[in-house]
A and B are shown apart, each in its own frame.
Chain A
Amino acid sequence: MPIYPVKDNKPTRNAFGEAMAELGQSNPDVVVLCADLKGSLKLEKFSENHPDRYFSIGIAEADMIGTAAGLAIGGKIPFTATFAEFSTGRVYDQIRQSVAYSNTNVKICASHAGLTLGEDGATHQALEDIGLMRALPGMTVIVPCDANETYSATMAIAKFKGPVYLRFGRPNQPNFTEINPDFQIGKANVLNPGKDVTIIATGILVWKALEAAEILQAEGLTVRVINIHTIKPLDVEAIVTAAKETGAIVTAEEHQKNTGLGDAVAHVISTQFPVPLEIVAVNDTFGESGLPDELLTQYGLSTQDLVKAAKKAISRKK
């Protein structure tokens, strides 16, 4: 299998901040609205270099979304910045009406997604956000797998016209992809070829999928690994091809089983090419305080969980 050397360990949010600093220089229409989390979303550089285009909205997320819609109407490309929970669940109706239904060019940038936010616990651990956002007609939903991909995706959504939800996170994370100036929204990347099973992963679970593939390879199995950074629009072709060519699928995400990537993939394969499917995700429960890796293990999202799910999917093949 191809080797993906880890360049460094880096939080995806740091790369978001770096991309915003770059966008600040290169695109005068880009503006940032932040709900009192400048440090957490690494927006210091943008705010220092472009104070006229950095808007401190305060802890007022509903107002932030509406204000962003207005800035878009006025011709700007607004990026809103807060934690994933407050970017979605708290402001669902504002996004629905003023952004999605109105098709305003707002980029909703959400950090600290999922369990790996860690010690702050369940109130802050967004595990339903992908489902909420993918339910909205016209919304693009992107979950990059590492820091470099977060950078690439942030640059790409500035060029893309339409509402976007961009989800990233807090902890250090192996940074193994190359920065890609041609990041294709809606196009899945096959990171490892394989014939016995496909792991379709998104976000930080992509790295764990590669780890699982390596373990399974040592046991004589070949595992296709797909990085599906765009949850909506979904790369249906990549999923159906994987179902046809490997005959079994595992999905992996740091999100609730209900409404997440697993549901989206289940819909595709059950209607187009049914094969055994195992969904690795949080099983209809809230999170809790703890360290990122402790939490991923506790809630069934570890590399070993992926190995087990892959074996189970293979065993269910007829």
Chain B
Amino acid sequence: MTHSELQTISRQLKRDVIKMITHAESGHPGGSLGMADIFTALYFSEMKHDPAKWPSVEGQDLFFLSNGHIAPIWYATLARTGYFPLAELSTLRKIHSRLQGHPATKEGLPGIRVASGSLGQGLSVAIGAAMAYKLDNRPEWIYVAMGDGELNEGQIWEAAMNGPHQKVDNLIAFVDRNRLQIDGSTEVVKKLDPLPDKWKAFGWNVLEINGHDFAEILAAIAKAKTNLGTGIPTVIIANTVMSKGVSFMENIAKWHGTPPTKEMEAKALIELAPTEWKDYDDPAARVYKGRN
């Protein structure tokens, strides 16, 4: 898929996110929009995955979302790649929905293997899955995404010690480095810089990219994959903009967890121009059928 096609898909996912959260009147748009490009690169280009095989791990790359509050972008991505019907996106955060406020397995939503939301746990889980893949000599990859604010949690750094110790060079972690968390700048709430040095000191292969540039995202993943055999896992620190693509929401910490109003939704959907994939509530809306 060309970068231009990926950009279009990412824009559609952002439209989905805005519509879902506005409809739910609750949710977390900032990180969801900011990570849309990375989700697009993973699920529409890089990852080997087949929703028809769910829930088997056989032949599947696995993705874990540690900062579960950006569930809307994950749900949109999963629906657009065929894990469940697009129409279900309109049930986000509603009673009886499989699309819980934070990702959950209990309701049986395909694509999700562990609950997340209480922060700091996903890297440990992903490393465990990577260890299982190593034991079984599976050639597939394990991916995990974390928020940067989430790195305040001690468990992340326990896991950061464990990754290289367990030699999980089949794991690629992303940090959504948007430099904002609920109370404001990550550097004011709990200083994280120099972040690459911290990961390096823990023994990781550290790559830093512009998290909105598909060339950089895909090149970083390709580079991480050359690490196989070294025993060293990779963390990609993706410099991103919270709420990327909606000018009046960009880089404002408030949009971590505030839903747009109807008026704001309309404005946002003008900025995020419609695509040929069509909105999820349009009968002509499209689902990606995979590379085969």
Contacts and interface: CB of A to CB of B under 8 A. Distances in A.
Contacts of B120: 62
Given A94-B155, A102-B114, A67 B121 contact: no
Contacts of B122: 66
Contact of B135 (A53, A68, A94, A97): A53
A53 B62 CA distance: 21
A94 B118 CA distance: 8
B131 A71 contact: yes
Contacts of B159: 63, 66-67
B132 interface: yes
A60 B162 contact: yes
A74 B136 contact: yes
Contacts of B162: 57-58, 60, 63, 67
Interface string B87-124: 00000000000000000111000000111111011111
B106 A74 contact: no
Given A57-B162, A73-B113, A62 B125 contact: no
Contacts of A93: 118
B115 A71 contact: no
B128 A73 contact: yes
Contact of B158 (A63, A69, A75, A98): A63
B135 A76 contact: yes
Interface string B153-172: 01100110110011000000
Interface in A169-183: none
B118 A74 contact: no
A83 B28 CA distance: 38
B135 A67 contact: no
B33 interface: no
Nearest to B125: A70
A78 B159 CA distance: 17
Nearest to A69: B125
A298 to B, nearest CB: 36
B287 to A, nearest CB: 25
B105 to A, nearest CB: 5
A67 B131 contact: yes
A104 interface: yes
B57 interface: yes
Nearest to B130: A70
Contacts of B206: none
B126 interface: yes
B42 to A, nearest CB: 18
Contacts of B158: 58, 60, 62-63
Given A52-B135, A53-B135, A73 B124 contact: no
Given A67-B131, A71-B131, A73-B129, A104 B114 contact: yes
B60 to A, nearest CB: 11
Nearest to B112: A102
Contact of B136 (A69, A70, A75): A75
Contact of A66 (B57, B104, B125): B125
23 contacts: A55-B131, A62-B120, A62-B124, A63-B159, A63-B162, A64-B124, A66-B123, A66-B124, A66-B155, A67-B127, A71-B129, A71-B131, A73-B57, A73-B113, A73-B132, A94-B124, A97-B117, A98-B125, A101-B104, A101-B115, A102-B113, A103-B105, A103-B106
Interface of A: 31, 52-53, 55, 57-58, 60, 62-76, 78, 93-94, 96-98, 101-104
Given A62-B155, A74-B128, A75-B57, 4 more contacts: A58-B165, A74-B136, A97-B115, A97-B118
